[in-house]
């Protein structure tokens, strides 16, 4: 099958062509990060407008790059939720126009599901596994069964991990996105310098808002080097993830772990999470951790067997059952 994946949920416009027979991906991503960094975060209206301008040229360029014709596409996949609603509408409307016009099936893909299964693209792993999503908007742990049914075991009750990286960086006057900047600062810091507490230790759900405030107050106190604060913060993030994952491994008996989403680009986390857990963690490559069309095409292919196609009456939604 030739599958076209379309992603426009946040600030990356991306289209991918996946050939399931050869397991080959051709894709393009247009990031708006430089546009939004001026504002210290993603501005939804600007994101939607840029998606609307970028989607058609990117789609045409990907077809050229993949050396295929419009009619060669067998299946379309598009991010349907969650995300910025105006941004999602651009991708969904574009995909609906193409799929319905060409009389090809269309699958509305959950963005978090796509982040999780993207770990399968370059790793030899199949469900059942635990899918840990650590991104700018979400910190969710799912059990993914053999049929790709997902059961939510933990989620953040306030800030997502990436959101706390971004908010801490913003407070410190550092550019958006904060994750990579904090990671870099932490390289020259002592991770054991500050003992930030782990929130909600005895529960499955996460809370990062208290940690974020604690870190911000520590920055304000001017008592510690920013490098030490960054390193100590990252250590607590890993310790928190370890604690929650261990609890869910105990509860489910599943100890194969996939870690995905933008924050999974962080090398400190990539190295220390598996080490502290004492288990292999399957990460997508960094290119596939941030938002991309490849994961949408791959997820659509995996969901194809469920035959849950997008109907004419359906459209994008910002929140769905998957998150609850
Ligand atoms: O998955 P993603 O591209 O978009 C969402 O769906 O949210 O994730 C973006 C998030 C941002 O919060 C960004 O700061 C974070 O991923 N991020 C990182 C790193 N690279 C990106 N966080 C920590 N360390 C990094 N190296
Ligand atoms: Zn994402």
Distance 73 CA to ligand 1 centre (A): 31
Q: pLDDT at residue 319 above 90?
A: no
Percent of the residues in the chain that have a pLDDT greater than 70, as a whole number: 100
Q: What is the pLDDT of residue 41?
A: 84
Distance 180 CA to ligand 1 centre (A): 8
| Per-residue pLDDT tens over the stretch 1-39 | 999 999 999 999 999 999 999 999 999 999 998 898 888
Rounded (10°) CA dihedral 19, 21, 24, 29 = 20
Q: Which ligand is nearest to the CA of 113?
A: 2
| Per-residue pLDDT tens over the stretch 145-159 | 999 999 999 999 999
Q: What is the pLDDT of residue 312?
A: 85
| Contact of 46 with 87, CB cutoff 8 Å | no
| Contact of 117 with 127, CB cutoff 8 Å | no
| Per-residue pLDDT tens over the stretch 249-291 | 999 999 999 999 999 999 999 999 999 999 999 999 999 999 9
Q: What is the pLDDT of residue 324?
A: 83
The pair of structure tokens assigned to 76 is 């379309």
Distance 68 CA to ligand 2 centre (A): 27
Q: Whose CA is nearest to atom 1 of ligand 1?
A: 262
Sequence-distant (≥ 6) Cβ neighbours of residue 307 within 8 angstroms: none
Q: What is the pLDDT of residue 98?
A: 98
Q: Whose CA is nearest to atom 7 of ligand 1?
A: 136
C-alpha to C-alpha distance for 284 and 247, rounded to whole angstroms: 23
CB-proximal residues (5 Å) to ion ligand 2: 135, 291
Distance 225 CA to ligand 2 centre (A): 31
Sequence-distant (≥ 6) Cβ neighbours of residue 109 within 8 angstroms: 5, 77, 78, 79, 80, 296, 299, 300, 303
Mean pLDDT across 62-81: 98
Q: What is the pLDDT of residue 179?
A: 97
C-alpha to C-alpha distance for 96 and 310, rounded to whole angstroms: 8
111 CA closest ligand 1 atom index: 6
Q: What is the pLDDT of residue 185?
A: 98
Percent of the residues in the chain that have a pLDDT greater than 90, as a whole number: 92
177 CA closest ligand 1 atom index: 14
| Contact of 98 with 77, CB cutoff 8 Å | no
Ligand 1 pocket test, pick from 114, 132, 133, 136 with the greatest ligand atom count within 8 Å of Cβ, gives: 136
Kindly state the helix (H) or strand (E) to which residue 186 belongs, with its residue range: helix 178-186
Q: pLDDT at residue 321 above 90?
A: no
> Quick one: DSSP state of residue 262?
G
The pair of structure tokens assigned to 39 is 């504002």
Distance 1 CA to ligand 1 centre (A): 31
Helix, coil or strand: residue 195? coil
Antiparallel, parallel or unpaired: β 257-260 and 129-134: parallel
Three-point CA angle 148, 154, 157, nearest 5°? 135
Q: For the chain, how big is the Rg over CA atoms in Å?
A: 20
83 CA closest ligand 1 atom index: 6
The pair of structure tokens assigned to 187 is 């390289």
Mean pLDDT across the chain: 96
User: 80-89, 98-107, 120-129, 305-314: lowest mean pLDDT where?
Assistant: 305-314
For every residue of 199-227, DSSP letters joined together read: TTTTSSSB--HHHHHHHHHHHHHT-S-HH
Alpha-carbon distances of 211 from 140, 237, 246, 298, rounded to whole Å? 17, 9, 20, 35
Q: What is the pLDDT of residue 323?
A: 84
Question: By CB neighbour count within 10 A (0-12 exposed, 13-18 middle, 19+ buried), where does 165 fall?
Answer: buried
Ligand 1 pocket test, pick from 137, 262, 264, 268 with the greatest ligand atom count within 8 Å of Cβ, gives: 262
**Chain center to CA of 312:** 27
Q: Which ligand is nearest to the CA of 29?
A: 1
Using omega within 30 degrees of 0 as the cis cutoff, is the peptide bond preceding 82 cis? yes
Distance 261 CA to ligand 2 centre (A): 5
Mean pLDDT across 175-183: 95
Mean pLDDT across 181-203: 96
Q: Which residues line ligand 1 (CB under 6 A)?
A: 10, 135-137, 162, 165-166, 177-180, 183, 261-263, 265-266, 290-291
């Amino acid at each position: 099958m030739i599958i076209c994946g379309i992603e426009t949920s946040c600030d990356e416009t991306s289209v991918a062509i996946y050939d399931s027979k050869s397991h080959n991906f051709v894709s393009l991503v247009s990031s708006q990060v430089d546009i939004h960094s001026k504002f210290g975060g993603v501005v939804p209206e600007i994101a939607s407008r840029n998606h609307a301008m970028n989607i058609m040229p990117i789609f045409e360029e990907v077809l050229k790059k993949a050396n295929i014709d419009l009619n060669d596409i067998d299946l379309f996949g598009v991010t349907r939720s969650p995300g910025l609603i105006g941004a999602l509408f651009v991708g969904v409307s574009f995909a609906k126009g193409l799929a319905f016009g060409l009389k090809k099936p269309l699958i509305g893909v959950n963005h978090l599901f796509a982040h999780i299964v993207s770990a399968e693209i370059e790793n030899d792993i199949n469900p059942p596994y635990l899918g840990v999503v650590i991104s700018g908007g979400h910190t969710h742990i799912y059990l993914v069964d053999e049929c790709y049914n997902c059961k939510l075991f933990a989620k953040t009750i306030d800030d997502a991990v990436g959101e706390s990286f971004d908010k801490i960086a913003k407070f410190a006057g550092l550019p958006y996105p904060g994750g990579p900047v904090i990671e870099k600062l932490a390289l020259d810091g002592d991770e054991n310098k500050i003992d930030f507490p782990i929130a909600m230790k005895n529960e499955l759900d996460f809370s990062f808002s208290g940690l974020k405030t604690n870190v911000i107050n520590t920055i304000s106190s001017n008592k510690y080097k920013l490098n030490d604060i960054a390193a100590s913060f990252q250590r607590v993030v890993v310790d928190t993830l370890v604690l929650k994952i261990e609890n869910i491994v105990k509860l489910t008996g599943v100890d194969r772990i996939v870690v995905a989403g933008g924050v999974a680009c962080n090398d400190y986390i990539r190295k220390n999470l598996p080490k502290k857990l004492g288990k292999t963690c399957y990460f997508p490559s960094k290119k596939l951790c941030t938002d991309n069309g490849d994961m949408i095409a791959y997820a659509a292919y995996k969901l194809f067997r469920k035959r849950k196609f997008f109907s004419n009456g359906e459209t994008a939604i910002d929140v769905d059952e998957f998150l609850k």
